[in-house]
Amino acid sequence: MPKRLRGRPRPIGHLYHSTTLSRGQRGKRGGLMGDEVDPQSAKRAAAAAYDYDGDPRWAEYWSNVLIPPNLASRPDVVDHYKRKFYQRFIDPDFVVETMTSSSSSQSARASMAAENAMPHNSGSNPARSAPQRRNMAPVQLDRQTIHFSLNAWVLVMAVIGVFLFVSTNLAHKAYRMSLLGTGCSSLYSLYIFYGKPRAWNLPAVKSWLHLVFPTKDFISFLYCLILVTSRMHFKFALIPVICRALEHSAKFLRRNFTYSSLYRKHLELPCLWVEAHATTLNFMSSKAEIGIGFLLIMSLFSWQRNILHTFMYWQLLKLMYHAPVTATYHRSVWARVGQVVTPFILHNAPFLNTPISAVQRWWFR
Protein backbone atom coordinates (compact mmCIF):
# COMPACT_ATOMS: atom_id res chain seq x y z
CA MET A 1 0.00 0.00 0.00
CA PRO A 2 1.42 3.41 -0.85
CA LYS A 3 1.98 5.78 2.02
CA ARG A 4 -0.31 8.73 2.37
CA LEU A 5 1.11 12.21 1.93
CA ARG A 6 1.39 14.01 5.20
CA GLY A 7 0.21 17.57 5.72
CA ARG A 8 -2.80 19.41 4.59
CA PRO A 9 -3.17 19.44 0.78
CA ARG A 10 -3.40 22.84 -0.88
CA PRO A 11 -6.29 23.66 -3.23
CA ILE A 12 -5.73 23.39 -6.91
CA GLY A 13 -6.98 26.94 -7.46
CA HIS A 14 -4.27 28.31 -5.21
CA LEU A 15 -1.60 26.58 -7.27
CA TYR A 16 -3.09 27.91 -10.50
CA HIS A 17 -3.29 31.47 -9.14
CA SER A 18 0.34 31.48 -8.00
CA THR A 19 1.49 30.00 -11.31
CA THR A 20 -0.34 32.56 -13.41
CA LEU A 21 0.86 35.38 -11.19
CA SER A 22 4.49 34.35 -11.47
CA ARG A 23 4.18 34.06 -15.22
CA GLY A 24 2.73 37.56 -15.47
CA GLN A 25 5.45 38.95 -13.30
CA ARG A 26 8.08 37.24 -15.44
CA GLY A 27 6.54 38.61 -18.60
CA LYS A 28 6.47 42.09 -17.13
CA ARG A 29 10.08 41.83 -16.06
CA GLY A 30 11.12 40.46 -19.45
CA GLY A 31 9.34 43.33 -21.22
CA LEU A 32 11.13 45.87 -19.06
CA MET A 33 14.49 44.31 -19.75
CA GLY A 34 13.78 44.08 -23.47
CA ASP A 35 13.24 47.84 -23.60
CA GLU A 36 16.72 48.52 -22.19
CA VAL A 37 19.53 49.02 -24.73
CA ASP A 38 22.84 47.33 -23.98
CA PRO A 39 25.58 49.95 -24.41
CA GLN A 40 28.24 47.28 -24.85
CA SER A 41 26.57 45.95 -27.99
CA ALA A 42 27.07 49.30 -29.71
CA LYS A 43 30.66 49.41 -28.48
CA ARG A 44 31.26 45.89 -29.82
CA ALA A 45 29.90 46.94 -33.21
CA ALA A 46 32.13 50.02 -33.21
CA ALA A 47 35.16 47.92 -32.26
CA ALA A 48 34.42 45.44 -35.07
CA ALA A 49 34.04 48.25 -37.62
CA TYR A 50 37.20 50.09 -36.58
CA ASP A 51 39.95 50.35 -39.23
CA TYR A 52 42.84 48.62 -37.46
CA ASP A 53 45.01 48.40 -40.58
CA GLY A 54 44.85 52.17 -40.97
CA ASP A 55 46.07 52.77 -37.40
CA PRO A 56 49.87 52.48 -37.08
CA ARG A 57 49.53 51.80 -33.37
CA TRP A 58 47.82 48.47 -34.10
CA ALA A 59 50.82 47.18 -36.07
CA GLU A 60 53.18 48.06 -33.21
CA TYR A 61 50.76 46.63 -30.61
CA TRP A 62 50.36 43.34 -32.51
CA SER A 63 54.11 43.02 -33.06
CA ASN A 64 54.66 43.19 -29.29
CA VAL A 65 52.08 40.50 -28.47
CA LEU A 66 53.84 37.29 -27.43
CA ILE A 67 51.66 34.30 -28.33
CA PRO A 68 52.51 30.97 -30.00
CA PRO A 69 52.51 31.05 -33.82
CA ASN A 70 49.71 28.50 -34.06
CA LEU A 71 47.44 30.84 -32.07
CA ALA A 72 48.58 34.00 -33.86
CA SER A 73 47.10 32.71 -37.13
CA ARG A 74 43.64 32.08 -35.67
CA PRO A 75 40.99 34.73 -36.48
CA ASP A 76 39.32 34.53 -33.05
CA VAL A 77 42.62 35.23 -31.29
CA VAL A 78 43.36 38.18 -33.60
CA ASP A 79 39.84 39.57 -33.01
CA HIS A 80 40.30 39.24 -29.25
CA TYR A 81 43.51 41.28 -29.30
CA LYS A 82 41.89 43.82 -31.61
CA ARG A 83 39.19 44.33 -28.98
CA LYS A 84 41.86 44.71 -26.30
CA PHE A 85 43.64 47.29 -28.47
CA TYR A 86 40.34 49.13 -28.95
CA GLN A 87 39.77 49.15 -25.19
CA ARG A 88 43.27 50.45 -24.47
CA PHE A 89 43.64 53.16 -27.11
CA ILE A 90 40.11 54.08 -28.26
CA ASP A 91 37.41 53.40 -25.66
CA PRO A 92 38.48 52.53 -22.08
CA ASP A 93 34.83 51.83 -21.11
CA PHE A 94 34.61 48.98 -23.60
CA VAL A 95 34.43 45.63 -21.80
CA VAL A 96 36.47 42.81 -23.37
CA GLU A 97 35.30 39.34 -22.53
CA THR A 98 37.87 36.73 -21.62
CA MET A 99 38.69 34.10 -24.19
CA THR A 100 37.30 30.64 -23.63
CA SER A 101 40.08 28.14 -23.24
CA SER A 102 38.00 25.27 -24.63
CA SER A 103 38.93 25.91 -28.25
CA SER A 104 42.61 26.42 -27.51
CA SER A 105 42.87 23.48 -25.17
CA GLN A 106 40.97 21.21 -27.56
CA SER A 107 43.82 21.17 -30.06
CA ALA A 108 46.32 20.62 -27.25
CA ARG A 109 44.29 17.68 -25.92
CA ALA A 110 44.04 16.22 -29.42
CA SER A 111 47.80 16.40 -29.90
CA MET A 112 48.44 14.89 -26.44
CA ALA A 113 45.97 12.10 -27.17
CA ALA A 114 47.73 11.36 -30.44
CA GLU A 115 51.11 11.26 -28.70
CA ASN A 116 49.78 8.97 -25.97
CA ALA A 117 48.17 6.69 -28.53
CA MET A 118 51.32 6.24 -30.59
CA PRO A 119 53.29 4.05 -28.11
CA HIS A 120 50.34 1.64 -27.85
CA ASN A 121 50.16 1.28 -31.63
CA SER A 122 53.92 1.01 -32.08
CA GLY A 123 54.00 -2.63 -31.11
CA SER A 124 51.58 -3.66 -33.80
CA ASN A 125 53.17 -1.72 -36.68
CA PRO A 126 56.52 -0.13 -35.71
CA ALA A 127 57.63 0.44 -39.30
CA ARG A 128 54.62 2.66 -39.93
CA SER A 129 54.48 4.59 -36.62
CA ALA A 130 58.19 5.54 -36.55
CA PRO A 131 58.15 7.48 -39.83
CA GLN A 132 54.88 9.10 -38.76
CA ARG A 133 56.49 10.39 -35.53
CA ARG A 134 59.57 11.50 -37.49
CA ASN A 135 57.44 13.45 -39.96
CA MET A 136 55.22 15.11 -37.37
CA ALA A 137 57.98 16.58 -35.16
CA PRO A 138 59.69 19.04 -37.54
CA VAL A 139 56.47 20.48 -38.99
CA GLN A 140 55.70 22.57 -35.88
CA LEU A 141 59.06 24.36 -35.75
CA ASP A 142 60.03 24.35 -39.41
CA ARG A 143 58.95 27.82 -40.48
CA GLN A 144 59.82 29.75 -37.34
CA THR A 145 63.18 28.00 -37.00
CA ILE A 146 64.15 28.82 -40.58
CA HIS A 147 63.07 32.41 -40.07
CA PHE A 148 65.07 32.68 -36.84
CA SER A 149 68.13 31.12 -38.50
CA LEU A 150 68.00 33.69 -41.29
CA ASN A 151 67.71 36.58 -38.85
CA ALA A 152 70.50 35.28 -36.62
CA TRP A 153 72.78 34.89 -39.64
CA VAL A 154 71.88 38.43 -40.79
CA LEU A 155 72.68 39.77 -37.33
CA VAL A 156 76.12 38.16 -37.32
CA MET A 157 76.92 39.40 -40.84
CA ALA A 158 75.73 42.92 -40.05
CA VAL A 159 77.85 43.12 -36.91
CA ILE A 160 80.90 41.97 -38.88
CA GLY A 161 80.16 44.56 -41.58
CA VAL A 162 79.91 47.38 -39.03
CA PHE A 163 83.15 46.66 -37.14
CA LEU A 164 86.05 48.92 -38.04
CA PHE A 165 88.87 46.46 -37.36
CA VAL A 166 87.68 44.07 -40.07
CA SER A 167 89.37 44.26 -43.46
CA THR A 168 87.62 46.28 -46.16
CA ASN A 169 87.03 43.29 -48.43
CA LEU A 170 85.49 41.23 -45.62
CA ALA A 171 83.37 44.18 -44.46
CA HIS A 172 81.99 44.69 -47.97
CA LYS A 173 81.15 40.99 -48.29
CA ALA A 174 79.46 40.97 -44.88
CA TYR A 175 77.56 44.13 -45.86
CA ARG A 176 76.17 42.55 -49.01
CA MET A 177 75.45 39.20 -47.32
CA SER A 178 73.50 40.88 -44.51
CA LEU A 179 71.38 42.79 -47.04
CA LEU A 180 70.79 39.64 -49.08
CA GLY A 181 69.88 37.73 -45.93
CA THR A 182 67.41 40.41 -44.85
CA GLY A 183 65.82 40.37 -48.30
CA CYS A 184 65.43 36.58 -48.16
CA SER A 185 64.06 36.77 -44.62
CA SER A 186 61.52 39.41 -45.67
CA LEU A 187 60.37 37.34 -48.65
CA TYR A 188 60.08 34.25 -46.46
CA SER A 189 58.03 36.19 -43.91
CA LEU A 190 55.72 37.38 -46.69
CA TYR A 191 55.33 33.78 -47.86
CA ILE A 192 54.47 32.65 -44.32
CA PHE A 193 51.80 35.27 -43.66
CA TYR A 194 50.42 35.94 -47.16
CA GLY A 195 51.35 32.87 -49.16
CA LYS A 196 51.92 33.16 -52.87
CA PRO A 197 49.65 34.48 -55.63
CA ARG A 198 46.69 32.29 -56.49
CA ALA A 199 47.87 32.08 -60.09
CA TRP A 200 50.86 33.34 -62.02
CA ASN A 201 48.97 35.79 -64.17
CA LEU A 202 48.80 39.57 -64.09
CA PRO A 203 45.49 40.02 -62.16
CA ALA A 204 46.45 37.50 -59.43
CA VAL A 205 49.95 38.92 -59.00
CA LYS A 206 48.51 42.43 -58.98
CA SER A 207 46.04 41.63 -56.19
CA TRP A 208 48.78 39.88 -54.18
CA LEU A 209 51.10 42.88 -54.54
CA HIS A 210 48.28 45.20 -53.51
CA LEU A 211 47.92 43.08 -50.35
CA VAL A 212 51.62 42.98 -49.38
CA PHE A 213 52.69 46.40 -50.69
CA PRO A 214 52.13 48.42 -47.47
CA THR A 215 53.60 45.76 -45.15
CA LYS A 216 56.85 46.20 -43.26
CA ASP A 217 58.41 43.05 -44.72
CA PHE A 218 57.84 44.19 -48.30
CA ILE A 219 59.32 47.63 -47.53
CA SER A 220 62.33 45.93 -45.96
CA PHE A 221 62.75 43.77 -49.06
CA LEU A 222 62.72 46.84 -51.33
CA TYR A 223 65.20 48.59 -49.06
CA CYS A 224 67.65 45.68 -49.29
CA LEU A 225 67.11 45.25 -53.03
CA ILE A 226 67.96 48.89 -53.79
CA LEU A 227 71.04 49.01 -51.55
CA VAL A 228 72.50 45.65 -52.50
CA THR A 229 72.51 46.63 -56.19
CA SER A 230 74.11 50.01 -55.52
CA ARG A 231 77.84 50.70 -55.78
CA MET A 232 77.73 52.83 -52.63
CA HIS A 233 78.45 51.17 -49.28
CA PHE A 234 77.03 52.97 -46.24
CA LYS A 235 77.86 51.20 -43.01
CA PHE A 236 75.07 52.84 -41.07
CA ALA A 237 72.66 51.47 -43.72
CA LEU A 238 72.93 48.29 -41.68
CA ILE A 239 71.22 49.94 -38.68
CA PRO A 240 67.68 49.07 -39.92
CA VAL A 241 68.92 45.57 -40.75
CA ILE A 242 70.35 45.07 -37.25
CA CYS A 243 67.23 46.48 -35.57
CA ARG A 244 64.95 44.19 -37.58
CA ALA A 245 67.08 41.10 -36.90
CA LEU A 246 67.24 41.93 -33.18
CA GLU A 247 63.48 42.35 -32.94
CA HIS A 248 62.65 39.08 -34.71
CA SER A 249 65.34 37.07 -32.90
CA ALA A 250 64.24 38.37 -29.49
CA LYS A 251 60.62 37.41 -30.20
CA PHE A 252 61.62 33.90 -31.23
CA LEU A 253 63.81 33.38 -28.16
CA ARG A 254 61.13 34.62 -25.78
CA ARG A 255 58.52 32.35 -27.34
CA ASN A 256 60.54 29.15 -27.52
CA PHE A 257 63.33 29.31 -24.92
CA THR A 258 61.62 30.83 -21.89
CA TYR A 259 62.31 27.78 -19.74
CA SER A 260 65.89 27.29 -20.89
CA SER A 261 68.57 27.93 -18.27
CA LEU A 262 70.96 29.30 -20.92
CA TYR A 263 68.32 31.79 -22.05
CA ARG A 264 67.52 32.90 -18.51
CA LYS A 265 71.16 33.33 -17.64
CA HIS A 266 72.48 35.17 -20.71
CA LEU A 267 69.70 36.15 -23.12
CA GLU A 268 66.64 37.10 -21.07
CA LEU A 269 67.76 40.63 -20.19
CA PRO A 270 68.84 41.55 -23.77
CA CYS A 271 65.55 40.21 -25.16
CA LEU A 272 63.57 42.18 -22.57
CA TRP A 273 65.56 45.30 -23.44
CA VAL A 274 64.83 44.86 -27.16
CA GLU A 275 61.14 44.36 -26.45
CA ALA A 276 60.97 47.42 -24.17
CA HIS A 277 62.84 49.67 -26.63
CA ALA A 278 61.07 48.63 -29.85
CA THR A 279 59.96 52.23 -30.47
CA THR A 280 63.52 53.50 -30.04
CA LEU A 281 64.81 50.94 -32.53
CA ASN A 282 62.15 51.97 -35.05
CA PHE A 283 63.13 55.64 -34.71
CA MET A 284 66.80 54.72 -35.20
CA SER A 285 65.90 52.82 -38.36
CA SER A 286 63.86 55.74 -39.70
CA LYS A 287 66.69 58.22 -39.10
CA ALA A 288 69.18 55.95 -40.86
CA GLU A 289 66.86 55.42 -43.84
CA ILE A 290 66.28 59.16 -44.27
CA GLY A 291 70.00 59.89 -43.86
CA ILE A 292 70.81 57.44 -46.66
CA GLY A 293 68.45 59.36 -48.93
CA PHE A 294 70.38 62.60 -48.39
CA LEU A 295 73.70 60.80 -48.88
CA LEU A 296 72.49 59.45 -52.21
CA ILE A 297 71.64 63.00 -53.29
CA MET A 298 75.15 64.11 -52.32
CA SER A 299 76.60 61.18 -54.25
CA LEU A 300 75.10 62.58 -57.46
CA PHE A 301 78.02 65.04 -57.49
CA SER A 302 80.64 62.25 -57.35
CA TRP A 303 81.88 59.63 -59.81
CA GLN A 304 79.78 56.95 -58.05
CA ARG A 305 76.51 58.69 -58.85
CA ASN A 306 73.53 56.67 -59.93
CA ILE A 307 70.43 58.69 -60.75
CA LEU A 308 68.17 55.64 -61.10
CA HIS A 309 69.07 54.25 -57.66
CA THR A 310 68.61 57.66 -56.06
CA PHE A 311 65.16 58.11 -57.61
CA MET A 312 64.09 54.58 -56.63
CA TYR A 313 65.28 55.07 -53.06
CA TRP A 314 63.38 58.34 -52.71
CA GLN A 315 60.28 56.59 -54.03
CA LEU A 316 60.82 54.08 -51.23
CA LEU A 317 61.13 56.90 -48.70
CA LYS A 318 57.85 58.28 -49.99
CA LEU A 319 56.26 54.86 -49.47
CA MET A 320 57.66 54.73 -45.94
CA TYR A 321 56.18 58.14 -45.24
CA HIS A 322 52.68 57.07 -46.31
CA ALA A 323 52.61 53.38 -45.24
CA PRO A 324 50.78 52.90 -41.90
CA VAL A 325 53.46 50.61 -40.41
CA THR A 326 56.25 53.19 -40.81
CA ALA A 327 54.39 56.50 -41.16
CA THR A 328 54.49 57.38 -37.44
CA TYR A 329 58.28 57.21 -37.17
CA HIS A 330 59.10 58.74 -40.56
CA ARG A 331 56.72 61.66 -40.17
CA SER A 332 58.18 62.45 -36.77
CA VAL A 333 61.74 62.44 -38.15
CA TRP A 334 60.73 64.54 -41.17
CA ALA A 335 59.05 67.05 -38.86
CA ARG A 336 62.34 67.48 -36.98
CA VAL A 337 64.23 67.84 -40.25
CA GLY A 338 61.78 70.53 -41.36
CA GLN A 339 62.22 72.45 -38.11
CA VAL A 340 65.97 72.62 -38.72
CA VAL A 341 66.14 73.07 -42.51
CA THR A 342 63.24 75.45 -43.19
CA PRO A 343 64.59 78.47 -41.21
CA PHE A 344 68.02 77.99 -42.76
CA ILE A 345 66.59 78.03 -46.30
CA LEU A 346 64.40 81.06 -45.61
CA HIS A 347 67.33 83.10 -44.34
CA ASN A 348 70.24 81.91 -46.50
CA ALA A 349 68.84 80.30 -49.67
CA PRO A 350 65.37 81.66 -50.51
CA PHE A 351 65.84 80.70 -54.16
CA LEU A 352 65.34 77.05 -53.15
CA ASN A 353 61.71 77.63 -52.15
CA THR A 354 60.41 77.01 -55.66
CA PRO A 355 62.11 73.60 -56.22
CA ILE A 356 61.31 72.53 -52.67
CA SER A 357 57.63 73.37 -53.24
CA ALA A 358 57.63 71.24 -56.41
CA VAL A 359 59.24 68.35 -54.52
CA GLN A 360 56.65 68.66 -51.74
CA ARG A 361 53.80 68.50 -54.25
CA TRP A 362 55.26 65.26 -55.64
CA TRP A 363 55.87 63.93 -52.12
CA PHE A 364 52.32 64.43 -50.84
CA ARG A 365 50.67 63.31 -54.06
197 within 8 A of 204, measured Cβ to Cβ: yes
Most confident of 122-126, 133-137, 276-280: 276-280
H-helix segments, the chain: 12-35, 39-49, 56-63, 69-72, 75-89, 101-122, 126-162, 168-194, 202-212, 216-228, 238-256, 261-262, 268-276, 278-299, 307-322, 324-348, 353-363
C-alpha pair distances (Å), 342 with each of 338, 349, 356: 5, 10, 10
Rounded distance, CA 293 to CA 291, Å? Answer: 5
Q: How many residues does the chain have?
A: 365
Predicted pLDDT of residue 335: 93
pLDDT tens across 137-185, in order? 343 456 888 889 999 999 999 998 888 777 888 889 999 999 999 999 9
Domain boundaries, the chain: 141-363
Confidence of residue 44 (pLDDT cuts 50, 70, 90): confident
* Closest alpha carbon to 140 in 114, 121, 120, 122: 114
* Closest alpha carbon to 182 in 158, 160, 164: 158
pLDDT tens across 7-20, in order? 444 444 444 444 44
Confidence of residue 22 (pLDDT cuts 50, 70, 90): very low
pLDDT tens across 193-222, in order? 888 888 888 888 988 998 898 899 999 999
pLDDT tens across 96-112, in order? 887 654 444 444 444 44
pTM: 0.62
